[in-house]
Copies of this chain bind each other. A is one copy, B any other.
């Protein structure tokens, strides 16, 4: 595992529960590349509007320049959307030369941590926040490569099992944004409930209040063929994807229950 880290700048520094903060590529990149949805936010062009715009999107980290890059290498974030959307329009007009400043949040919910008192309750989670400049991908090669990456990030091996390559209309109507990341951090909570010393001394109360963890993960159910499907039963690569996704999800949620070493 590499040691490369994002720079620790004020906007990315974890101040509350400092030991939960992580800045290394590997940790941050693996969180982003395993969530089904990221939340993107950015200032709107209307100076009268004080509310950032926010959108759920599909995103994926990879490197077009260094296609054999692993999760502990420098990567760009690719986001999938439509030219007609506000974000894509703004990325296109490129507010400044660097691109549109955006913040991306990716969160895994790994479990509910039930302590003696509501104030000590917590979640087990892995969250990452990334800051970067978004510009639209204009090169056909890079765009096609990113479309394939994003499709296969949703269901492994899906791209080659569909009607590809995209036609001219599809290439035009689909917009891919590349985000050059300038800062990022992750925050991870794992392990068992922790209670205040005073509560731990109250044995009568402790006999009454159950403490522990409820593990949580994203389940993928039985794939169901659509009404227009002519391709028979569920193909092996889809079955295998569903099986692995469930196994990994359960595994991570259960690993998160293990108290981390100090």
Contacts and interface: CB of A to CB of B under 8 A. Distances in A.
A234 B210 contact: yes
Given A117-B163, A238-B214, A105 B209 contact: no
Nearest to A221: B215
Interface of A: 10-11, 15-16, 36-37, 39, 41-44, 46, 49-56, 58, 82, 84-86, 101-105, 107, 109, 112, 114-119, 121, 123, 125, 127, 129, 131, 147-148, 151, 154-155, 158-159, 161-164, 166, 170, 173-174, 192-193, 195, 199-200, 202-203, 205-232, 234-235, 238, 242, 249-250, 253-254, 257, 259
Q: What's the number of copies of this chain in the assembled complex?
A: 2
A41 B218 contact: no
Contacts of A212: 223-226, 229, 234
A175 to B, nearest CB: 11
Contacts of A127: 56
Contacts of A119: 147, 166, 170, 173-174
A32 B205 CA distance: 33
Nearest to A105: B54
B203 A230 contact: yes
